[in-house]
Amino acid sequence: MLRIEGLCKAYGDRPLLQTLNFEISAGEIYGLLGPNGAGKTTTINLICGLLKADAGSVLIQGQPVTTATKRLIGVVPQENLLYRSLTCAENLAFFAQLYGLSRALRRQRIQACLEAVKLSDRANTLVEALSGGMQRRLSLAVALVHRPKLLILDEPTTGLDIEARYDLWQLIRFLQQQGLTILLTTHLLEEAERLCQRIGILKQGQLLAEGTLAQLRQQIPAKEVVILETSDEAAAIKRGKQQGFTPRRYGSDLAFWIPQVLDLRQILDCFAGIPIDSVSRQPVKLEYIYIEVTQPNQAALLYPTRPRSGLIGSDQLYSL
């Protein structure tokens, strides 16, 4: 459905994209992740024809980006671009008319899109009277009104409460089941983990890793991650390294990559004699992979935290 080959874009001497390559199959949800400034928005603008690439190509259903391909794309931007003084139906009618839909077809699509996003009962409600979650669903309806083949969701659930987020996730899955191809950008790694068949991790305009979650887990040589809370972190780190565990710090958490699955008793035996306040066993989550891939040096993974009893700095953690 979408193929990006050798895509380059710079502003002056500052490169935004550097030979970017990835492909999204029809009916797939592909997650594009990366820190602010990684090049996600630039990529979207190039796909939509709002920017011109310095080099490389974007193909949508095998066609280069032109005015014609814009009809194949629906976009839900980070900010709701809705007319707050118009009703839901009036917003949809306006955008449907921009796409050149006939009056009869506009009526059909307005009804169908409102039903799809569960806003049929709000057709005559002003946008300004809608909740944040409802406005995001209406933005999605606007993006669908012309029946696009590729849907681009740019951080679709940012700022929503958990219930609204779950509703939108369910809707995104439904749209995929209807055959829609979806490019999703998000800072919520759980969102990408739950929704995406494949994920690309972008930094400074370069794709550093790509694949299914199972493939991305190969970036970390561990079967699980164990989080320890202890008053003697230095001793725990030293013991963990003796056991062949790799120490990491995630925020204030002291973690260890465990190369094999151990039960709780085996973990405690590995740290026998060290005061352990709590133990948490976790799978290798996307957030750990993301941090590992996007940090330029291994030592940078060990974030400084507030001083506390037994706390050591990142240099100490790697010198033990």
Give yes or no for residue 300 having a pLDDT over 70.
no
pLDDT at 67: 87
Reported as a pLDDT band with limits 50, 70 and 90, residue 313 is very low
Reported as a pLDDT band with limits 50, 70 and 90, residue 311 is very low
Residue 277: exposure state from Cβ atoms within 10 A (0-12, 13-18, ≥19): exposed
Give yes or no for residue 3 having a pLDDT over 60.
yes
pLDDT at 315: 35
Round to whole Å and give the CA distance between 282 and 261.
Answer: 10
Give yes or no for residue 125 having a pLDDT over 90.
yes
| pTM of the full structure | 0.87
pLDDT at 285: 93
Per the prediction, the chain carries an average pLDDT of: 90
Reported as a pLDDT band with limits 50, 70 and 90, residue 159 is confident
C-beta of residue 126 within 8 angstroms of C-beta of residue 85: yes
Reported as a pLDDT band with limits 50, 70 and 90, residue 9 is very high
Listed residue (128, 158, 124, 137) closest to 36, CA to CA: 158
Each domain of the chain, given as residue ranges in start order, spans 2-217, 220-319
Query: By percentage, how much of the chain surpasses pLDDT 70?
Result: 92
DSSP state letters, 98-147: HTT--HHHHHHHHHHHHHHTT-GGGTTSBGGGS-HHHHHHHHHHHHHTT-
- Of residues 157 and 251, the one with the higher pLDDT is 157
* Inter-CA distances, 213 with 20, 128, 196, Å: 20, 39, 9
Tell me the mean pLDDT in the region 258-262.
Answer: 94
Give yes or no for residue 307 having a pLDDT over 90.
no
Round to whole Å and give the CA distance between 207 and 34.
Answer: 9
Give yes or no for residue 163 having a pLDDT over 60.
yes
pLDDT in tens, 66-90: 888 989 999 999 888 899 999 999 9
pLDDT in tens, 33-54: 999 889 999 999 999 999 999 9
Give yes or no for residue 297 having a pLDDT over 70.
no
pLDDT at 316: 33
pLDDT at 252: 86
Q: Which helix (H) or strand (E) holds 89?
A: helix 88-98
Other Cβ atoms within 10 Å of 234 Cβ, number: 15
Q: Which CATH class is domain 220-319?
A: alpha beta
Round to whole Å and give the CA distance between 136 and 82.
Answer: 10
pLDDT at 251: 83
CATH of domain 2-217: 3.40.50.300
Give yes or no for residue 299 having a pLDDT over 50.
no
pLDDT at 80: 87
